Amino acid sequence: MIVLDTHIWFWYINESFDQFPLEWVGKIRQAERVGVSSISCYEIVLAHSKGRLEINIDGLLRQYPELKNYLM
């Protein structure tokens, strides 16, 4: 299992692959399981609520339609 830190997770789901080594993309995609810490979720929400980053919900749902079940 690979556990992604907040920055890598955010860059990965936004396909900002220029932010980290390209070989990491392959390792993440080949991993049997990929996880993120609950604190990473909190950090993303906090940064978004303070206007420090923008979350493209429509794009995220296109990539991961199963998330629709978890959004209000």
**Each residue's pLDDT tens digit, 31-70:** 999 999 999 988 988 898 899 988 777 777 777 788 777 7
Cα separation, 32 vs 17, whole angstroms? 20
pLDDT of residue 56: 74
Burial of 60 per CB tally in 10 Å (0-12, 13-18, 19+): middle
Pair of tokens at residue 67: 């998330």
Checking DSSP bridges between strand 2-4 and strand 34-36, what pairing results, if any? Answer: parallel
In this prediction the pTM is 0.72
Pair of tokens at residue 4: 């992604």
**Each residue's pLDDT tens digit, 8-32:** 988 888 888 899 898 999 999 999 9
Burial of 34 per CB tally in 10 Å (0-12, 13-18, 19+): middle
Pair of tokens at residue 18: 């220029």
pLDDT tier for residue 5 given thresholds of 50, 70 and 90 = very high
